[in-house]
Structure 1
Amino acid sequence: MTPTLKLFAFCGSDGAQSKTAILVKTAVAEVAQRLPVDATFANIAPFMQVRLGQYRDTLPDDARAILEGIETCDLLVVGSPVYKGSYSGAFKHVFDLVDPDKLLHKPVLICASGGGQRHALMVEHQLRPLFGFFGASSAPVAIYAGAADFADGAVADPALKDRIALAAQGFAQMAGQPAARG
C-alpha cells in the first residue's frame, strides 16, 4: 500500500472564494486523483494583521501553523494573486519567515491568478525563482488563470482545466520519486 503524503496548499489571497483559492483547490483536487494525499488548505488571512518585519516567534499561533505546514509537508501547492506583475508583499513576507532548509528538494506546484493573460509569465519570472532560491523542486508545468477562466465560482475554461490536469500529472510523477539526498 502506498503511504499517504501530507500535502499543504497555501493561498496568497484571504478570500475563501477568491479566484486564487478556487484555482489552488482545483489543482489540489486533481493531484488527489493521482496520489494518496492528506490535504490541508490555508490562506494568508492570519498574516494580514501581522506587522511586516515581525519575527517568527512573535507570530500568532494560526500564522505559525501555516509556516509549520509549509515546512513539514511532503508536497506543497502554492497560489498567489498577481499584483502589478508579481506576488504581493504579504505573500513574500510569509516566505521570508520560512526556514530555507525546509523546502530543499520539496515538490512545489505553482499557481497564480490575475485579471488577464498579460500577467501569465509571472509564474515563471516571479514565483519559480522564489522557490528556486529555496532549492525546492518546482513542477515543470505551472498554472496561471485569468479572470475570464472562471464562472460561477469554478474553473470554467476547458484549456485551463487541461493545463491543471497536465500540471497535476507531472507533479504527481515528481512526488512519486524520492528526493535526491546530498
Structure 2
Amino acid sequence: MSAPIKLVAVSGSTSQPSRSAALLDALTAGLAAGQATEITQVSLAELAPLLPGVVSAKDAPPALAQAIAAIERADVLVVAAPVYRGSYPGLFKHLFDLIHHESLFNVPVLLAASGGSDRHALVIEHQLRPLFAFFQTLTLPLGVYATDADFADYRISSPALAERIELAVSRARPWLRARG
C-alpha cells in the first residue's frame, strides 16, 4: 500500500469566514474523495499576525515554520486567494516569499481565486500562475475563479461554480495519482 498523498490547501484570505476558503474546501474535498490523502490546511487568516517582521523562514515562529514546512513537503498544492486590488494579497505573497525556491519543483498546483466581479477573472493567469512558475511547479491547466455572486453566506450557491469545481477536480485527479 502506498503512502497517502500529502495535499496542502493554502487559503490566501486574511478573513474568516471567506469565499476563498469555501472554494478551497470544495476543491480539496473533491480531490481527496476516494483516495488516501493527508490534508494539511494552511490559513493566511491564522498566520497573518505572525508574518510581519519575518524576513527568513529560519526566523519564523513555530506555527509559521510548521506551515512553511508543510507547503515545502507537499505532494500537491491547492491554493485559493481573494483578489485584492487586481492581485493576490500582499501577505499571501509574503508567505510564499518564505518558501525555499527549490522546494516546489514539479509539484502539481491547482489554482483558484475569488473576487467581487468577473473583471478579475484573469488573476489566475496574470498573477498566480507566474508566482508558481517561479517555483517551477506544475500549475494545472484548469484553475477555478469565483465571484461574490457564486456564494451565499460564504457557501457555494452557484450550480455553474459547482460544475467548474467538479471539472477542475476531475482534470486534476490524474496528477494526484501520478504523485501517489
> TM-score over 0.5 for the alignment?
yes
Query: How far did residue 15 of structure 1 move?
Result: 3.0
Do 2:50 and 2:64's aligned partners in 1 also have CA atoms closer than 8 Å? no
CA distance in 2, matches of 1:35, 1:117: 34
Query: How far did residue 17 of structure 1 move?
Result: 1.7
CA distance in 1, matches of 2:38, 2:51: 28
Q: How many residues align?
A: 179
Aligned residue type for 1:4: P
Query: How far did residue 35 of structure 1 move?
Result: 3.4
Alignment partner, residue 98 of structure 2: 97
Alignment partner, residue 12 of structure 1: 12
Aligned residue type for 2:57: R
Q: TM-score, with normalisation over the residues of structure 1? A: 0.92
CA distance in 2, matches of 1:83, 1:139: 23
- In structure 2, runs of 5+ residues without a counterpart are none
Cα 1:71–1:119 change in 2 (3 A) is same
Alignment partner, residue 23 of structure 2: 23
Classify the secondary structure of the residue corresponding to 1:103.
Answer: coil
Alignment partner, residue 58 of structure 2: 57
Percent identity between the two aligned chains: 39
CA distance in 2, matches of 1:140, 1:35: 22
The answer to whether the aligner puts 1:160 opposite 2:140 as a matched pair is: no
CA distance in 2, matches of 1:48, 1:143: 28
**Greater alpha carbon shift after TM alignment, 86-95 vs 44-53:** 44-53
Classify the secondary structure of the residue corresponding to 1:48.
Answer: helix
Alignment partner, residue 177 of structure 1: 178
CA distance in 2, matches of 1:55, 1:33: 36
Query: How far did residue 14 of structure 1 move?
Result: 2.9
- In structure 1, runs of 5+ residues without a counterpart are none
Do 1:5 and 1:36's aligned partners in 2 also have CA atoms closer than 8 Å? yes
Classify the secondary structure of the residue corresponding to 1:100.
Answer: coil
Query: How far did residue 158 of structure 1 move?
Result: 0.8
Classify the secondary structure of the residue corresponding to 2:112.
Answer: strand
CA distance in 2, matches of 1:106, 1:11: 17
Aligned residue type for 2:79: V
Query: How far did residue 34 of structure 1 move?
Result: 4.9
Alignment partner, residue 124 of structure 1: 125
Cα RMSD (Å): 1.7
